[in-house]
């Protein structure tokens, strides 16, 4: 599924538009992070991959929640996070079903997300970024998904390199996606479209001098 991840600032977007783009970008960031870990020689078994993915997605959603605190009003932010969690669960379910097999993967993701949301509320952002304890909690959850051989090294790798890198990519995406002319509900956007006058029926605002054909014929040659 292709989703446009940036758009012109003059556009009007809905919460669902933004959530969809952020879910896509979060999934892409997570895949890049997995490649980083593998390139650093960390071993992630097939059965562990989606446990790690789930923790990454939950971490990124929590970061979005903090980043939009001063940008969106409370209602908009709540709607955004709920929509983002659901669409992230869709990506998780579709990919895990394809690679691992059938199961209620969507609900699995949502249950983990709800548990993590409660825990992350105990940790803070500092100067617009997740503080050490915020990232440490994330790292410890990833640690539980790793092999015994790697688990003692993964916390340092996540806290010092992976978590800050993932946040930086996400932060750039959030700033681009919420910097639009207006953010409205899907219902309001539909209403605006219904009330919009087609270009062909709009009254001209041009002040050009009327064209006069002085030719002896009825058409311009």
Residues 83-129 pLDDT 10s: 999 999 999 999 999 999 999 999 999 999 999 999 999 999 999 99
What pLDDT, on a 0 to 100 scale, did the predictor assign at position 145?
Answer: 84
The candidate with the shortest Cα–Cα distance to 59, out of 36, 29, 37, is 29
What pLDDT, on a 0 to 100 scale, did the predictor assign at position 47?
Answer: 79
> Residue 138: is its pLDDT beyond 90?
yes
What pLDDT, on a 0 to 100 scale, did the predictor assign at position 2?
Answer: 41
Rounded Cα distance, 18 and 189, in Å:
13
Q: How does residue 215 score in pLDDT terms, banded at 50, 70 and 90?
A: very low
For 134, counting Cβ atoms within 10 Å of its Cβ (0-12 exposed, 13-18 middle, 19+ buried), the class is: buried
Rounded Cα distance, 120 and 60, in Å:
11
Q: How does residue 211 score in pLDDT terms, banded at 50, 70 and 90?
A: very low
Per the CB < 8 A criterion, the answer to whether 109 and 88 are in contact is yes
- Interval 10-59: pLDDT, tens: 466 889 999 999 999 999 999 999 999 999 988 888 879 999 999 999 99
State what percent of residues in the chain have pLDDT above 90: 62
């Amino acid at each position: 599924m292709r989703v446009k991840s940036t758009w012109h600032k003059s556009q009007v977007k809905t919460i669902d538009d933004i959530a969809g783009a952020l879910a896509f970008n979060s999934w892409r960031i997570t895949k890049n992070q997995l490649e980083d870990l593998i390139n650093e020689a960390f071993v992630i078994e097939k059965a562990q991959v989606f446990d790690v993915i789930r923790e990454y997605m939950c971490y990124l959603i929590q970061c979005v929640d903090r980043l939009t605190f001063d940008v969106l009003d409370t209602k908009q932010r709540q709607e955004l996070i709920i929509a983002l969690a659901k669409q992230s669960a869709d990506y998780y379910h579709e990919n895990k079903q394809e690679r691992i097999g059938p199961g209620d993967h969507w609900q699995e993701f949502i249950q983990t997300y709800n548990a993590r949301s409660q825990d992350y509320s105990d940790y803070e952002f500092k100067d617009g970024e997740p503080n050490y304890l915020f990232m440490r909690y994330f790292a410890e959850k990833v640690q539980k998904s790793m092999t015994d051989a790697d688990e003692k090294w993964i916390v340092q790798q996540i806290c010092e390199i992976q978590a800050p890198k993932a946040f930086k990519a996400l932060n750039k995406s959030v700033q681009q996606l919420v910097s639009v002319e207006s953010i409205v509900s899907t219902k309001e956007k539909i209403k605006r479209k219904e009330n919009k006058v087609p270009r062909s029926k709009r009254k001209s605002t041009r002040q050009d001098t009327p064209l006069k054909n002085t030719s002896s014929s009825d058409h311009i040659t």
